[in-house]
Amino acid sequence: MRVAPAEVVAIVGPSGSGKTSLLMLLAGLERATSGQVKVRGQELSALSEDDLARFRRKSLGIVFQSFHLIPSLTALDNVALALEIAAPELPMHKIRAKAADALTAVGLGQRLEHRPTALSGGEQQRVGLARAMVANPPLLLADEPTGNLDQTTGAVVVELMFDLARKNGTAVVLITHDPALAARADRVFTMTQGELTESTVVS
Ligand SMILES: Nc1ncnc2c1ncn2[C@@H]1O[C@H](COP(=O)(O)OP(=O)(O)OP(=O)(O)O)[C@@H](O)[C@H]1O
Ligand SMILES: [Mg+2]
């Protein structure tokens, strides 16, 4: 599979087929036992743990299936921290302003000071999305980013991801069970028992 800048690729397939595992490989969070993962020409398996961390910090936004927000931090601080790590040269007031903008964009402008336990599942998912997008990464990986959202909110969130791809040239790899969402992607791949095939028909 190749993903071009500004391209949105959807991955569909049954539970347990290996979609999240693939995302972990693309993120450099797991190492492949065989085969290659190259991001912007860089072979991930050749990188040290420190270099992998640097790659994730500079080049990657990731929305995890299980959110992975920091429980002791507010929504605003969860997003601000990601930007502070990606762009430490920015002054703190700019970081906080951008974090607030990202949260407002996902409809959480009224939830900035809430901690994750005081947010619904869908709200936590949107904090995760704001965190993944706040630094405008060249690569965005998203694991069922609309899985906990109602249709209207899901559509808003999807629009944001497509915007990011088009405006910033972000390559987006999106895992979804939602056929309507997959149908909006530029290309769709189906994962079946660890095998990825490109499909023209969305199942
Ligand atoms: N850390 C792990 N160690 C061993 N096996 C694992 C590990 N993580 C996942 N698996 C197994 O690998 C297979 C693929 O899991 P994966 O999480 O990639 O599926 P998925 O396609 O994302 O499914 P879902 O749609 O339910 O999220 C499953 O059979 C799972 O049990
Ligand atoms: Mg999964």
CA of 123 to the centre of ligand 2 (A): 19
pLDDT digits (tens, 9 = 90+) for 28-66: 999 999 999 999 899 999 999 999 999 999 899 999 988
Token readout for 47 is: 């990188």
Give me the pLDDT at residue 203, please. 47
Instruction: Specify whether the CB–CB gap between 128 and 67 falls below 8 A.
Output: yes
Token readout for 51 is: 């270099």
Q: For residue 65, which atom of ligand 1 is closest to its CA?
A: 27
Average pLDDT, the chain: 93
pLDDT digits (tens, 9 = 90+) for 60-112: 999 998 899 999 999 999 999 999 999 999 999 999 999 999 999 999 999 99
**Domains, the chain, ranges and CATH?**
8-199 (3.40.50.300)
Instruction: Specify whether the CB–CB gap between 31 and 45 falls below 8 A.
Output: yes
Single-letter code of the amino acid located at 2: R
200 vs 155 pLDDT, higher one = 155
CA of 202 to the centre of ligand 2 (A): 18
Which protein residues are within 6 Å of ligand 1, measured from CB? 13, 15-21, 65
Report the Cα 124 to chain-centroid distance in Å. Answer: 13
CA of 71 to the centre of ligand 2 (A): 22
